[in-house]
Amino acid sequence: MTRHIFLPAIIFYLACVASAQNAAPTLDLAHSQLLDLTYSFDDHTIYWPTADGFKWTKDKWGPTPSGYFYASASYAASEHGGTHLDSPLHFAEGHPGTDDIPLRRLIAPAVVLDVTAACEKDPDYLVSAGDITRWESAHGRIPEGTIALIRSGWGKYWPDAKRYLGTDVHGAGAIPKLHFPGISAEAARLFVERRVAGVGIDTASVDYGQSKDFQTIAFCMRRTSTAWRTLPTSSVCRRPGPC
């Protein structure tokens, strides 16, 4: 059975959130289109190779001795699968957890940086600072408080784990076989300098699959950042530029 987790319109796989003191831009929700930007949680949901997948079990399902029908189930899953949030605590000891993040920091205007052409040629592509400045040359400087979405095109492989992650092997042995695009440490630093509200990507991590030190997410998390993973960016704002 499929279960969905519905998040606000622009809650995605985000990272590199600016400092908590930043005021969130005003949104006119009355004239906005709200989209569910999450994948379903079910037997096909992709998880990090060392994590257990989604489990949904019927506990009680049918007629009771008293004559009425009763249905109740249990579910369990790793935190790091499907479209999900990474709090700063994920890579920064003593930093905020998910329950410490104000909702107002998770909703903001968005821009899309399309790097699908580069990722088609290189599954280990790293979004560079140059990609950001080239985008800004065409569209203007990324405004403070904006969510920057990276479209690698990797969402087209969902839910095929072998193509999406580079391997369908489960366990520690899968880690060296991971291949998917990510964001370079230099690009992460530039996003933080731009004081964006967040950065989203449609892959399994802001760090590319072959990362050994996870510099990008560690850099962001230490700066009181928040992260979401596995955003289906093909579902939103199909043109590059401001949404």
Domain assignment present for 6: no
Is the link from the previous residue into 159 a cis peptide, with omega within 30 of 0?
yes
- Is 5 part of any domain? no
Cα 218 from Cα 231, distance rounded (Å) = 19
Q: Within a domain: residue 91?
A: yes
For residue 200, the model assigns a pLDDT of 84
The tens digit of pLDDT for each residue in 173-198 reads: 999 999 999 999 999 999 989 988 87
Give a yes or no: residue 8 inside a domain.
Answer: no
Considering the domain boundaries, does residue 213 fall inside one?
Answer: yes
Read off the CATH number of the domain in which 137 is found: 3.50.30.50
Q: Does any domain span residue 206?
A: yes
Query: pLDDT tier at 93 (50, 70, 90 boundaries)?
Result: confident
Task: Decide if 180 is inside a domain.
Answer: yes
Q: What is the pLDDT of residues 2-53, one digit of tens each?
A: 333 333 333 334 444 433 334 445 667 787 777 777 888 999 999 999 999 9
Domain count, the chain: 1
In a domain, 162, yes or no: yes
Where in the sequence is the domain holding 34, given as residue range(s)? Answer: 14-52+79-242
83, two tokens: 């479209």
Q: Which phi-psi region, left, alpha or beta, contains residue 197 (left: φ > 0; alpha: ψ -120 to 50)?
A: alpha
Record the pTM.
Answer: 0.78
